[in-house]
Amino acid sequence: MTRRDIAFALLISAVWGLNFVAVKFVVEDFPPLLSNALRFSLVILFFMPFIRIVPGRMVAILTAAFTLGVLHFGAVFTGMSLAGGVGGVAIASQLSVPFSTLLAVLFLHESVGWKRIAGIALSFTGVLVLSFDPIVFEYWQGLLIIMLAALLYAISTILMRKLKDVRAATLQGWVAVAGVIGSLLFSIVLEEGHVAAISNASGLAWAGIAYSAVGSSVLGHGGANYLFRKYEVSTVSPYFLAVPFFAVLGAVVILGEDVSFKMVAGGLLTVAGILIVTLRNKAKATQAAVLPEAKA
């Protein structure tokens, strides 16, 4: 990667990290599923020109869009609404990488060596250490839901892999459509106080929705798609491991959160484990690309 693209990847990490802070402001005033619907209602405005019917692919597109836009992001907002802080959940959210590897083993019959197994074990050990932090333990339900969100993101990634022939902006548009319709329907059934929340929401909450939509979805995911089209996923992904760092930094500076030794230790173990898995995935991908050339 060029230095400019490395800097861009780190900028995306900062945007995604600070998104945890933005979401925290949002869920203090809005119910979580309504928050997700409002967020994606803004995202649609940017991707409306790219939303179109793709013949023969709509079932797969809508399945992936529902998994990502409704289930994953709905779980993120729900987990954040239950969490007393940002740092712990931001670290746990990175478990999508080891989850993706485990899903590849289970459903794609991919083999893994001891290094990736060790990396997966290390990442989950880090979250376990994190959960024993007295501050984080107070909102263990939120931590579990964020881990579920990471699993759902890993599932959506596998579903998205099967849609490489569909334009990225079109996929983003359908994710936004699913996010609005699905989240709003679930919100009407499961949540209450919608009118009061919208009427009484603070400026920070509305700003958080705008930041989450424009910053996280449009700039963040749009920028990531640009980098993934230009480089291998395994080349870009390690730079996104900086997301928890920016999230914790934002939580300390903006929200005044305390950072304990266990949170730091758990975060370092988790990120180290994910880095091992990411680098080994890259090595495997490189090896798989070289072998056919050798046979030729």
pLDDT tens-digit profile of 155-208? 888 888 788 888 888 989 999 999 999 999 999 999 998 999 999 999 999 999
* Highest-pLDDT range among 37-51, 76-90, 249-263: 37-51
Spatial CA neighbour of 157 closest among 219, 88, 228: 228
Task: Give me the mean pLDDT over the 131-149 stretch.
Answer: 78
Task: Give me the mean pLDDT over the 212-221 stretch.
Answer: 86
Say how far apart CA 253 and CA 244 lie, in whole Å: 14
Residue reference for tokens 């990396």: 119
Task: Give me the mean pLDDT over the 213-218 stretch.
Answer: 86
CA atoms within 13 A on the CB side of 221: 22
Task: Give me the mean pLDDT over the 139-153 stretch.
Answer: 86
Residue reference for tokens 């967020």: 39
pLDDT at 108: 65
pLDDT at 232: 67
**Neighbour tally for 117: CB within 10 Å:** 17
* Highest-pLDDT range among 58-72, 81-95, 100-114, 231-245: 58-72
pLDDT at position 296 over 50: no
Spatial CA neighbour of 37 closest among 171, 183, 155, 170: 183
Residue type, 70: V
pLDDT at position 225 over 90: no
CA-derived radius of gyration, the chain: 19
Lowest mean pLDDT among 92-106, 125-139, 202-216: 125-139
227 compared with 111, residue with greater pLDDT: 227
**Neighbour tally for 203: CB within 10 Å:** 9
pLDDT at position 220 over 90: no
Residue type, 125: T
Say how far apart CA 130 and CA 235 lie, in whole Å: 28
Model pLDDT for residues 158-173, shown as the tens digit of each residue: 888 788 888 888 989 9
Q: Are 167 and 50 in contact (CB under 8 A)?
A: yes
pLDDT at 137: 67
pLDDT at 294: 44
* Highest-pLDDT range among 148-152, 165-169, 288-292: 148-152
Say if pTM beats, i.e. exceeds, 0.75. Answer: yes
pLDDT at position 295 over 50: no
Say how far apart CA 184 and CA 59 lie, in whole Å: 21
pLDDT at 274: 79
pLDDT at 65: 92
